A and B are shown apart, each in its own frame.
Chain A
Amino acid sequence: MMRAAVVLLPGLNRDRDMIAALTKISGTPPVTVWETDTTIPDVDLIVIPGGFSYGDYLRCGAIAARMPVMRAVAEMAAKGVMVMGVCNGFQILLEAGLLPGALMRNETLKFVCREVKLEVANANTAFTRNYKPGQIIRCPVAHHDGNYFADAETLKQIEGEGQVVFRYAEGTNPNGSVNDIAGIISKSGNVLGLMPHPENLIETAHGGIDGRALFESVLGKAA
């Protein structure tokens, strides 16, 4: 059975939704770890949820990325443990250097809270194998700093290596991200970061279940 851990940091606010999603889909509540923890229990998946860790001071995710727990996350990631960061979690993974690039203020300068369409740009990952290549899914976004940026060389590399996993589709790019990038994966294939919130679209009461396949993929459930 797959075991998951959720990283808790002051200022996150999507942790309960994430814990609920992981519990519903895996059948077991994830363990939780705090920002000062220097070790993480033996798990298969570590999730950093969304929110506003440390009030987004300095830069989104910047302070959280330097907390002791993130050194433990980096060590586990280097061993091949799956790591997923959603929204603020994605910002934290970038600030921690576990994924390439940066997330900047939305091009419109406005906070966006709505549903977008996502294209599964790479269905050949541990996180997306239960989707079809190129599948268009619905997913909510809620962020102020989701404007993905990387220099030309990095962009060429991540595009060339299939590291772009999700793209905003059908003209729904809500933030000005370069190449409509909504989510990327590490070269090693075990660290995923994405701005949208798949944990908020996993049961019919949410109005759709398009996010469910992501959790089922990474938690080792068959399609």
Chain B
Amino acid sequence: MIKARITVTLKNGVLDPQGKAIEHALGALGFDGVDSVRQGKVFDVELQGGDKSKVEAEIKAMCDKLLANTVIENYAVEIA
């Protein structure tokens, strides 16, 4: 079995009102040194084993077709 962790984040320059709200809440809790917070998503996907390059290509296709909206989001894949 292959385990993949996919991290989806908003592209630079895309406004992240949720990240901003979290940033303000951290400030309200007294964490003064926070310059910026950006919120993202993590997907842990378990796949049947097989040829590694084929699995990598398949995960990339999953990200492009569904897991990320590449108009506003970037993604990164880690394979365990």
Contacts and interface: CB of A to CB of B under 8 A. Distances in A.
Interface of A: 58-59, 62, 66, 94-95, 100-102, 104-109, 147, 149-151, 176
B21 interface: yes
A104 B66 CA distance: 16
B15 interface: yes
Contacts of A151: 71
26 contacts: A58-B66, A58-B67, A59-B69, A62-B66, A62-B69, A66-B65, A66-B66, A94-B71, A100-B71, A101-B71, A102-B72, A104-B14, A104-B15, A104-B17, A104-B72, A105-B17, A106-B17, A109-B17, A109-B21, A149-B14, A149-B15, A149-B71, A149-B72, A150-B71, A151-B71, A176-B15
Interface residues of B, number: 11
A71 B71 CA distance: 20
Contacts, number: 37
Interface SS of B by simple majority: helix
B71 to A, nearest CB: 4
Nearest to A151: B71
Interface of B: 14-15, 17-18, 21, 65-67, 69, 71-72
Contacts of A95: 69
Contact of B71 (A102, A107, A147): A102
A165 B15 CA distance: 23
B71 A108 contact: no
B73 to A, nearest CB: 9
Nearest to B66: A66
Going nearest first, the 3 A-B pairs with the smallest beta carbon separation are A102-B71, A102-B72, A109-B17
Contacts of B67: 58
Contacts of A150: 71
Contacts of A59: 69
Contacts of B69: 59, 62, 95, 102
